[in-house]
Every structure is written in C-alpha cells, then in structure tokens.
Amino acid sequence: MITYSLRCHQDHRFDSWFQSAEAFDKLHKSGMITCAVCGSDEVEKAVMAPRLSSAEATQSPLSQPRTPAEQALRALRKQVEDNADYVGRDFVQEARRMHTGDSPDRPIWGEARADDAKKLLDDGVPVMPLPFRPGRKSN
C-alpha cells in the first residue's frame, strides 16, 4: 500500500491510500480519483514529506484518526455504513431501478465505474462519489 497527499484544483488537500503507484495512475487516468471535499476529479499529487517508520505508523490504517480530516472521513464512513444498504457492484443497476420506480427508494452505496456513474448523472439519477472504498475482509 502507498499513501499519496493529493490536491484538487480548488487547493483542497487530502491523503488517500492506493495499492500501488500503478493503481494510482490507472485510477487517475480514468477519472476515478475525486476530491474528498468538493468531489472534483481535477486532482493531482501534492508535494509530500516522506513518512518515517514508527510503532504508530505500523498500526492498521483504521487506527485512531490523527487529523480533523481523518476524523470527518471516519464519521462519514460510519454514517454511510450505518444508514445505507451496500449493494456492491450492483450499484448502477439498483440506482437505475430505484430511479424508474422498479425498486423501493432507499439509501444505497456501492461500486461503479466512472463512465457508468456519469451515465447515471446524465440520465438524472442523483449519485455522488464517496471518498472511501468498502472494507475488504481478510482471513
């Protein structure tokens, strides 16, 4: 895993985790990296200082949040997970069914490719990117 400090065109700054530098490049090129504050996809890497290893740094990324931004992100994630149904990769289909009245209206969250999310928006389906991904279970 790698952490990048990012900055949008409105100078909002935030950190995000990526599987690798190549994963960042691929997501950035596809427009899937968005500002955690305003949602803009005009995001670039910000200048950042290297992180030194310490006992605190070796803890899980889900350890206690250290900054107000991390605290706000954790609170948002809890709010979404506690109050919305996770529909996974069926998000696009379920959002469209709810919009057409074929499925009951309720808060949902899940995964979608940027082009599919744009099609939903173009069709008047209200969606927005979240600044986090679903947790992965490990054995």
Helix (H) or strand (E) holding 87: strand 85-88
For residue 89, what pLDDT is reported? Answer: 93
Which of 132, 121, 19, 128 has the alpha carbon at shortest distance from 74? 132
Percent of the chain exceeding pLDDT 90 equals 33
Question: How much is the pLDDT for 55?
Answer: 47
Supply angle C-alpha 2, 115, 4, rounded to 5. Answer: 15
First to last CA, the chain: 18
- Going by C-beta distance under 8 Å and a sequence separation of 6 or more, which residues neighbour residue 58? none
| Arithmetic mean of pLDDT over the chain | 83
Whole-angstrom distance, CA of residue 121 vs CA of residue 111: 15
Strand order in the sheet with 43-45: 13-18, 2-8, 43-45
| Residue in 110, 107, 88, 89 with CA at minimum distance from that of residue 98 | 107
Q: Is the pTM of this model over 0.85?
A: no
State pLDDT tens for residues 54-70: 444 444 555 666 788 88
